[in-house]
Structure 1
Amino acid sequence: MYLLYVDESGDIGLQNSPTKYFVLTGLVLHETQWRNILNDLVAFRRHLRTTKDLKLREEIHAAPFINNPGPLVRIKRHDRLDILKQCIDFLGNRTDVSIITVVVNKTTKPATYDVFEAAWQTLIQRFENTIRHRNFPGAFPDQRGLILPDNTDGGKLTALLRRMRYYNPVPSQGYYQQLGSTYRNMTLQYVIEDPFLKDSAHSFIHQLIDVVAYCARQLYEPNAYMKKKQGHNFYRRLLSVINPHATRSHALHIVEL
């Protein structure tokens, strides 16, 4: 079983939104690696407690971490930036995880465009395809996938996932396109069950993927401090664990909508 932990950066609003981009990032790991990853992550958080005074119970929430850290203001700003970098490198140095990122450019979308649905449908389809073709690390045979998002619109996401099991039109390519077929109904076969929502405040794994999603958005609309300190390039440090099968049209395999 492959587990897809998902978090987002930015918002889905098209009108009067403070962000131009919405980012959805998924971290994929196999169930047999879950305990090893958790053990390493706990050790990593203990390291941050010792070296940066970041308590294990304190959440790493990337969006306010740099400019509006609240009680974490006691940690120097450059140390908070280094924490984000260390989170990225914790994942980038592994061989048992895979990352998929979808980015929606909201400035090019009409008012009727459903940012939430488009991003999620794209991420789910990439997850499904990679399991189907056994392209995740380990190449475990005949596997299925389960989605564990951070708190989001669970009702809407559940409805989308259920619909994709019966109706999921995907643009045709190659042979099917030559036959004159514009779309194929590629219903989900490998992603099982409804999504299981988690609260990132109580999930070290979700806190990591929150950092990844934030760093992905910094590629597109970096804040002044991240750009000054080269933090807008942190996502590039993940290249070795980014799923190359998500798309070949972007150097960092980001699926852009």
Structure 2
Amino acid sequence: MYLMYVDESGDPGNTGHSTDHFILSGLIISQEDWDKHLTKLKTFRKSIKEKYNLNQRTEIHAAELIRPGKIAEYSTIRKTNRINILKDYCTQIPIIFDTAKVINICIKKSDHPGADVFELAWSRLLQRYDTYLKKIVIDKGIVIADDTDSKKLMALNRKMRVYNPIPSHYQGIYNSPIDNIIEDVFSRSSQHSYFVQSVDVIVHSLYRREYPKGSLKKFGIEHQFQKIEPILLKEASKGDALGIVRK
């Protein structure tokens, strides 16, 4: 059995207050390695406690590390050190999750006018995960996501389990149900999961790579995602050097 932990960056809306992007990252791990990964995560969080005096129970939230708001404890740590926590996390991710894979979906809304961005991004992620389960590990899997539109996602997941049209390499389309993903998507608050927090770091690092901010360039935040390259599922998109799905 495999587990894919998912988090998002941006929002799928199309109003004037919406983001220009919607990004999903999925961290795939085997249940057999779950305990090993958790042990490494605990060791890493202990080192963060010793180095930066951040409580091991405090949630790691990438955006908040850069600009604190809701997490009060962050305000007691210097900005340079908060960003160093993010950098350290990115360095450790391929070490902690040495047998894992990461799928990334990066949708630029202007490239998909009129599209349901939520459905577009999630369908791409579920398709790639199902393909990974069928063709690479030959096993079943579940999906665990941070808080999202669970009702809409449940409907999409159930629809794709029956009908999932895929363009053929020859002509037309064929139906490829995502039948290696079992059950509906499970919701898990990032506050209570080191695994979801890890995906938050991944997806935010991808966002910073795709949409670098001038005021943060002196910290090199836009270069942190490349540290995760060793565990990226590059087969997810053969047209992208890092396997990032964009269409």
Is this a same-fold pair by TM over 0.5? yes
Output the CA distance in 2 between the equivalents of 1:229 and 1:251: 24
Query: SS where residue 142 of structure 2 aligns?
Result: strand
Matched with 2:233 is 243
What's the RMSD between the two structures over aligned residues? 1.3
Output the CA distance in 2 between the equivalents of 1:122 and 1:168: 11
Matched with 1:23 is 23
Matched with 2:135 is 133
Checking the alignment, whether the CA contact within 8 Å between 1:91 and 1:97 is kept in structure 2 is: no
Matched with 2:89 is 87
Shift of 1:68: 2.7
Alignment of 1:1-257 (within 5 A): 1-69=1-69, 70-71=71-72, 72-93=74-95, 94-110=97-113, 112-134=114-136, 139=137, 142-173=138-169, 177=170, 180=171, 182-257=172-247
For structure 2, which runs of at least 5 residues remain unmatched after alignment?
none
Output the CA distance in 2 between the equivalents of 1:26 and 1:143: 17
The TM-score normalised by the length of structure 1 is: 0.91
Of stretches 204-213 and 10-19 in structure 1, the one that deviates more from structure 2 is 10-19
Checking the alignment, whether the CA contact within 8 Å between 2:133 and 2:141 is kept in structure 1 is: yes
Checking the alignment, whether the CA contact within 8 Å between 1:218 and 1:226 is kept in structure 2 is: no
For structure 1, which runs of at least 5 residues remain unmatched after alignment?
none
**What are the Cα deviations for residues 2-21 of structure 1, in whole angstroms up to 9, with x where unaligned?**
10000001111222135211
**What are the Cα deviations for residues 222-251 of structure 1, in whole angstroms up to 9, with x where unaligned?**
233432221101111111100121112111
Checking the alignment, whether the CA contact within 8 Å between 1:49 and 1:55 is kept in structure 2 is: yes
**What are the Cα deviations for residues 49-71 of structure 1, in whole angstroms up to 9, with x where unaligned?**
11111112211111222123452
The TM-score normalised by the length of structure 2 is: 0.94
Output the CA distance in 2 between the equivalents of 1:224 and 1:56: 31
Query: SS where residue 235 of structure 2 aligns?
Result: coil
Output the CA distance in 2 between the equivalents of 1:78 and 1:252: 28
Structure 2 counterpart of 1:15, one-letter code: T
Query: SS where residue 213 of structure 1 aligns?
Result: helix
Output the CA distance in 2 between the equivalents of 1:13 and 1:161: 20
Checking the alignment, whether the CA contact within 8 Å between 1:164 and 1:188 is kept in structure 2 is: yes
Output the CA distance in 1 between the equivalents of 2:37 and 2:216: 28
Checking the alignment, whether the CA contact within 8 Å between 1:150 and 1:206 is kept in structure 2 is: yes
Query: SS where residue 79 of structure 1 aligns?
Result: helix
Structure 1 counterpart of 2:173, one-letter code: Y
**What are the Cα deviations for residues 154-175 of structure 1, in whole angstroms up to 9, with x where unaligned?**
11111111100111111111xx
Number of aligned residue pairs: give it: 244
Checking the alignment, whether the CA contact within 8 Å between 2:233 and 2:243 is kept in structure 1 is: yes
Query: SS where residue 100 of structure 1 aligns?
Result: strand
Checking the alignment, whether the CA contact within 8 Å between 2:234 and 2:241 is kept in structure 1 is: no
